[in-house]
Structure 1
Amino acid sequence: MSQLPPPVSDRLDPKQAALAAFSGYFIWGLSPIFYKFLAFANPTEIVLQRVVWSAPILLAILYLSRRLGPALAVLNDRKTLLLLVCTSLLIGANWWVYIFSVNSGHVLEASLGYYINPLMNVAVGVFVAHERFSKLRAIAIGLAVLGVINQIVTVGHLPILALFMAGSFTAYGYVRKTIQVDARVGLFWETLIMAIPSIVVLTVFEIQGGEQAGHFFNGPSEAFLLMMTGPMTVVPLLLFLSGARGLSFAIIGVLQFVAPTLQFIVGLAYGEPFSLAYLATFIFIWSGLAVFVVELLHFERQQKRAGKRPA
C-alpha cells in the first residue's frame, strides 16, 4: 500500500508573509481612490455589485484550493449558516458605510474608524470575552474614549460613521471567531448569501429605470469599474490571509495601521477639512494605539521568554 505524501505547508516565510500582509493593507489603504471613481453610482449599488462579483472569484479560489468539499459541508450545519447570515449582514453594512463615507467626502472619518477598531477589539476582548487585562490596555482604551469625547465637545459632533465602521467590524470579527470554518469558505458563503438578493435587487433597479436604474449597462467603462469591485474586495483579503498565517500577532498588530494611515493621507490629499480640534481627536487615538502596540510587543517578548524556559 503506497503512503500518502506529507502535507505541504502553505505558510510563507516571515519576509514573504510580511510583504503579503503589507500589500493587503496597502491596497485597503488606497482603496478610497478607487471608490472615488465609482461616484457615479450610489453606495447601495456599489455594495450589491461588490458582492455579486466577489462570489464567483471566491468560488474559483475554493475550487483551485480544493475547498469545495468543506464549503458544501456548511449546508449541513444550520447553526453555522445562521451565524454566516449574521456576519454577512455585519460586513455588508460595514462596506456600505465605508463607501458612503468615501464618496461623501468623509475619508478622514473612515480612517478614524479603522484606527478606533483595534482599540474597540481590545475593549470587547477585556469586557465581553474576559481576555487578559492590563494597565496599558486600560490606558489605551481610555485614550480612545478621550478622543471620541474631544470629537463631541471640541469638534462639535459625534463621529457616527467612524464609530459605526469600528463597531460593525469589531462585531463581525467577534462573531466570525465563533464560526469553525476556513476563512475562504466563510467569506464565500458570506458573499453568496448577499449575492443572491443583490442580483434580484439589481434586476429590479434595471426594470424600474429612472433614478433607481443601475449603471452596469451605461457603458464599458462603468461596467468595468463595477466588475473590479470584486477583485478589490478579494485580492487584499487573500494577501492578508496568506501573510497572517506566517506572522506573529504583534507584527499583524503593527501592520494593521498601514491602511488607516494611507486613508488618512488620501483624505488630506482630497482636501477634506481638518481643524486643530479634529487633529486632537486623532492624537488621542494615535496615542492609544501607540500604548496598545507597546503592550502587544511587551507581551510577545514575555511569551517568547516563557517558551524558552525548560518545562
Structure 2
Amino acid sequence: MTEVQDRDIRRALLAGLTGYLIWGVSPLYFQLVGFASALEIVAHRVVWSLPMLFAVLLIAGKLRPAFRAIADPKVLLTMLATAALISVNWLIFVQAVNGGQVLQASLGYYINPLMSVAVGVVILREPLGPWRIAAIVLASLGVLNQIIAVGEVPWISLSLAVTFTAYGYLRKIASVDGRVGLFWETAFILPFALAALVWMGLEGQSQFLDSPAKAALLIVAGLVTIVPLLLYIIGARGLRLSTMGLLQFTAPSLQFAIGVMSGEPFTPAHMVTFGLIWAGVATFTWSQLRRERKAVAAAS
C-alpha cells in the first residue's frame, strides 16, 4: 500500500467514524431543542437542509446530474417514496428522543441491518447461510422477549427499523448519489414542512420566533442533517463495506449510552432484550467478515 493510499484510507476512516459519532450523539441535540414539537423540529430540519444541500451540489458540480437524474420517471417515483419514508423516520426518531425513548430508538438501529438481511433474502434472493439465520433468530428472540418479559411491543424500534430498511433498499436500487438523493427528498418534503410551520405559527405553536437562541438552535437542524451524511459518503467511498458495517454500530451504541445515562427504565428484562440483539449483531458482523475474506481469497 502506498503512502497516498494509506492517507486516503485514514481520511475515509476518520470521516466515516465522525459521521456515525455525530449520528450517535444527535439525541443530545434533539433533547436541547425539546422546547419545540417533533413536527416543528423536522420541518426546520427540512427547510434549512435544502439550501445547504443546494450549495453542496453547486460546489461539487452535481446540479446538472441532479436534474438529469430526476427526469427519469422511475427515479422520480423512487425519490418520492424515499422522501415519505425518511420524513416518517425522522418524525418517529425525534418524537422518541423528546419523549424519553432513546433506548427504543437505539434498539431500532441495531435491528435495522438484520432486517436489511431479511429483505435481501426475500426480495433480492441473496444467499442466507447459517450465521445470518442465527443472527435473525437472535434478533427475533430479542423482540419477543421485549413483548413477553418487558410487557410492551417495541413499536418505536420496529417502526424505525422498517422505515429505514425500506428507505435503504429503495435508495440502493435507485443508484442515485447520496447528496443528490437527499436534495430531492428534502425538496419534495419542503412544501409540507413550510405548510406545517405556517399552521403552527397561526396556531401559536411555533417556537422559532420566541427568541434568537431558539431560532439559532432550530437552524442548526440543517447542519445536524447534512454534515454526518457528507462524512458518511466520504467514508463509504474510501473504506471496505465490512469496515463501514462495523462503524455503523457506533451510532446506536452511543444512543444506548445516552438513554441509560438519561435515566430511562432499564430492567434485567431490557438487558436480555439488548443482549439478544447484540448477540445477533455480533453474529451478523462475523458473517460479513467471513464473506469478505472469502471474496478476497477468491479474487487473489
Query: Same fold by TM-score, threshold 0.5 exceeded?
Result: yes
Query: Which residue in the other structure is 1:186 paired with?
Result: 181
Q: Which residue is equivalent to 1:228?
A: 220
Q: Say if 2:25 is the partner of 1:30.
A: yes
The alignment's TM-score, normalised by the length of structure 1, stands at 0.93
Match of 2:242 in 1: 250
- AA partner of residue 54 (structure 2): L
Query: Following the alignment from structure 1 to structure 2, what is the Cα–Cα distance between the partners of residues 263 and 225?
Result: 20
Separation of aligned partners in 2, 1:216 and 1:236: 24
Q: Deviations over 1:253-290 (max 9, x none)?
A: 11000000000000111111100001000000000011
> Using the alignment, how far apart are the partners of 2:218 and 2:226 within structure 1?
14
Seen in structure 2, the aligned counterparts of structure 1 residues 75 and 173 have a Cα distance that, compared at 3 Å, is closer
CA root-mean-square deviation: 1.5
Inter-partner Cα distance in structure 2 for 1:105 and 1:161: 12
**Cα offsets for 1:70-109 (capped at 9, x unmatched):** 1122342222112111100000000000000100000011
| Alignment partners' CA distance in 1, 2:262 and 2:71 | 49
Task: Looking at secondary structure, tell me which structure has more helix per residue.
Answer: 2
Residue 205 (structure 1) shift: 2.2
- Alignment correspondent of 1:66: 61
- Cα offsets for 1:7-54 (capped at 9, x unmatched): xxxx97211111100000000000000100111111111111101110
Task: Quote the residue 1:48 is aligned against.
Answer: 43
- SS state of the match for residue 181, structure 1? coil
Partner letter of residue 209 of structure 1?
Answer: E
| 1:288 corresponds to which of 265, 280, 284 | 280
Q: Is the 8 A contact 2:40 2:196 kept in 1?
A: no
The letter for the 2-side match of 1:278 is H
**Aligned counterpart for 2:203 among listed residues 209, 215, 220:** 209
Read off the aligned partner of 1:264 and give its amino acid letter.
Answer: F
- Which residue in 2 is equivalent to 1:131? 126
Give the aligned residue type for 1:69. Answer: R
The match for 1:85 is 80
Shift, 1:183, TM fit: 1.4
2:139 paired residue number: 144
| Residue identity opposite 1:277 in structure 2 | A
Contact 2:47 2:193 in 1 (8 A): yes
Q: Percent identity?
A: 47
- The equivalent residue for 1:7 is none
Deviation of the 1:201 alpha carbon: 2.4
Structure 2 residue ranges without an equivalent (≥5): 1-5
Q: Secondary structure at the match of 1:178?
A: helix
Question: Separation in 2 of the partners of 1:50 and 1:241?
Answer: 19
Residues 223-252 of structure 1: CA distance to partner in whole angstroms, max 9, x if unpaired?
001100000000001101111101111111
The answer (yes or no) to whether the contact 2:39–2:196 under 8 Å persists in 1 is: no
Unaligned runs of 5+ in 1: 1-10
Is structure 2 residue 151 aligned with structure 1 residue 159?
no
Distance 2:142 2:36 in 1: 33
Q: Return the letter of the residue paired with 1:118.
A: P
Question: What does residue 265 of structure 1 align with?
Answer: 257
Distance 1:62 1:303, change over 3 A: same
Report the AA paired with residue 164 of structure 1: S
> Distance between the aligned counterparts of 1:253 and 1:74, measured in 2?
28
Which residue number corresponds to residue 237 of structure 1?
229
